[in-house]
């Protein structure tokens, strides 16, 4: 009888043709193909040194509760000798930042359509009592269907439950300073913090640059103290929407993502009317009929 202890053998990967498509704060993202079904997926690698087990399990917990066409879907786990991965939907359009860099300033109609998608996804996220905490173009992935681009919210590595307390205050203040609401710099967050970030993103899409710039310390001062200035060329309803989303005090912003979504939809409807674009099948009609709320 062989008394030598058996060695655990890591399972082989179910995926092949790994192609690096992104590099994030916590690891890399690969495009991969399932060996049997041929399905193309995204494998999000989470490095143990940068993303310990507690954070790994936290993100899985959040992803399992989210099912919405404007949120990237979690399909499973892949754990092999090369690492551990989240198996996610593959979004062939890359992220919104890449599209912005490729196309330059996007058309107003496309910008509003994508923001409506983002807010629909965010409404679902908030309905699950989750605060994203890192809304920015790099975390908005793009799929394509017969109507064009579809925006989908991704990356829940920094997300928190509503009013969740965290012992790591440095982690509570972590994020992307260019998109952080004033209270986020002090470790406070709520759904209103995500709405502020969408306001910054909408400003950037419409104007072509972010409202505030500089080093993290300069951004902190700007978000807290500097007045928001919007060019007069921005349509009135959009100026009103962005201004409300980016109020310094959370209580003065939109009460919910769906409230902001309706404001953007109204601006989109007026834009379509003003430019006389296919009035029988306007951007408003298409986006309103296609989203799922809640």
Cα end-to-end distance, the chain, whole Å:
61
Is residue 171 part of the annotated active site? The answer reads: no
DSSP 8-state class, residue 178 = G
Q: Residue with structure tokens 């995926």? A: 15
Token pair, residue 63, equals: 């992803």
Are 42 and 91 spatial neighbours (Cβ–Cβ below 8 Å)? yes
CA-wise closest residue to 159 among 123, 126, 120, 201: 126
The CA distance from 266 to 283, in Å, is 10
Are 150 and 142 spatial neighbours (Cβ–Cβ below 8 Å)? yes
Contacts of 215 (CB under 8 A, 6+ apart): none
The CA distance from 132 to 212, in Å, is 21
Contacts of 103 (CB under 8 A, 6+ apart): none
The CA distance from 96 to 119, in Å, is 14
* Catalytic residue chosen out of the listed positions 134, 155, 172, 194: 134
Q: Residue with structure tokens 């983002």? A: 118
Token pair, residue 98, equals: 């890449």
275 three-state secondary structure: helix
CA-wise closest residue to 96 among 142, 154, 132: 142
Token pair, residue 203, equals: 């400003």
The CA distance from 206 to 81, in Å, is 46
Token pair, residue 202, equals: 């909408």
Positions annotated as catalytic residues are 134
């Amino acid at each position: 009888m062989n008394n030598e202890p058996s060695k655990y053998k890591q399972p082989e990967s179910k995926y092949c043709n790994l192609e690096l498509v992104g590099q994030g704060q916590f690891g890399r993202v690969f495009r991969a193909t399932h060996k049997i079904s041929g399905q193309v997926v995204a494998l999000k690698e989470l490095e143990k040194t940068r993303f310990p087990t507690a954070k790994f399990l936290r993100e899985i917990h959040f992803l399992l509760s989210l099912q919405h066409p404007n949120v990237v879907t979690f399909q499973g786990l892949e754990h092999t000798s090369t690492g551990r991965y989240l198996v996610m939907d593959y979004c062939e359009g890359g992220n919104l930042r890449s599209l912005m860099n490729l196309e330059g300033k996007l058309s107003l109609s496309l910008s509003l359509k994508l923001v409506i998608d983002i807010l629909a996804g965010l409404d679902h996220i908030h309905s699950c009592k989750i605060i994203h905490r890192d809304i920015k173009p790099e975390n908005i992935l793009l799929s394509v269907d017969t109507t064009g681009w579809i925006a989908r919210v991704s990356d829940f590595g920094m997300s928190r439950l509503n009013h969740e307390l965290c012992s790591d205050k440095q982690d509570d203040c972590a994020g992307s300073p260019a998109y952080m609401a004033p209270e986020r710099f002090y470790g406070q967050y709520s759904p209103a913090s995500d709405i502020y970030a969408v306001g910054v993103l909408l400003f950037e899409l419409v104007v072509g640059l972010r409202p505030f710039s500089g080093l993290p310390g300069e951004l902190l001062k700007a978000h807290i103290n500097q007045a928001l200035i919007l060019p007069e060329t921005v349509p009135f309803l959009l100026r009103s929407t962005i201004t409300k989303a980016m109020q310094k005090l959370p209580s003065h912003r939109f009460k919910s993502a769906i409230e902001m979504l309706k404001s953007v939809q109204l601006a989109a409807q007026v834009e379509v009317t003003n430019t006389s674009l296919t009035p029988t099948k306007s951007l408003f009609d298409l986006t309103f009929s296609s989203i799922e709320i809640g």
